[in-house]
Chain A
Amino acid sequence: DAGVIQSPRHEVTEMGQEVTLRCKPISGHNSLFWYRQTMMRGLELLIYFNNNVPIDDSGMPEDRFSAKMPNASFSTLKIQPSEPRDSAVYFCASSLVLAPSSGANVLTFGAGSRLTVL
């Protein structure tokens, strides 16, 4: 398996522009997570999906952020309009979730998308 695939790896944009980050999870995984990492705030959970359904988006900073998962093999995180404070590394991760007490739920991360908003 190719692992979790994210694109683009690097994005530099100007304030006010729309940014779309993409993620392809590992085939067969049924949960997908979007995290944001900065030096100041560490690795923050933005939103996660189970079976393509958003379960918890309480970590999404504000209405400028939106995420979709139209099918089991693709998800997007969109920022519109972007601001300099959105500059961070955005990670997508996927896992196979079985029973709550099972030994699953191990996250596999993509390589990340480094976003710089000027």
Chain B
Amino acid sequence: QKEVEQNSGPLSVPEGAIASLNCTYSDRGSQSFFWYRQYSGKSPELIMSIYSNGDKEDGRFTAQLNKASQYVSLLIRDSQPSDSATYLCAVRGSSASKIIFGSGTRLSIRP
């Protein structure tokens, strides 16, 4: 079992709709969770971080964490073509500061 798992996609969503991205992790002691966005040929950039159960909202983005289910998700409201990218889920586990990434979900917003 991979430490951090994501559906590779591609996930195709019409412009203006809600995009939902999911991630599961294996280390039950994990403490910090991150969503990064990566455009083709660029480096990953942080979108959201979440540390406690529940929802965290930032503009059009909402991160959701459920530690009991070992599940973290990212919702993108009012999807725009500029949201088309690969979204990487990252988890800092129970051991020190090691941060592991999922393989990423490719999101495509169609006009």
Contact = CB atoms under 8 A, between A and B. Distances in A.
Contact of A105 (B43, B45, B99): B99
A19 B49 CA distance: 34
A112 B44 CA distance: 10
A110 interface: yes
**Chain A contact patch, size range:** 20 to 34
Nearest to B96: A55
Contact of B100 (A45, A101, A103): A45
Contact of B31 (A31, A50, A101): A101
Interface string A36-47: 000001110100
Contacts of B36: 107
Give the most central of B42, B92, B102: most A CB within 10 Å. Answer: B92
B71 interface: no
A97 B49 contact: no
Interface of B: 31-32, 34, 36, 42-46, 49, 51, 88, 90, 92, 95-104
Interface of A: 31, 33, 35, 41-43, 45, 48, 50, 55-56, 91, 95, 97, 100-101, 103, 105-112
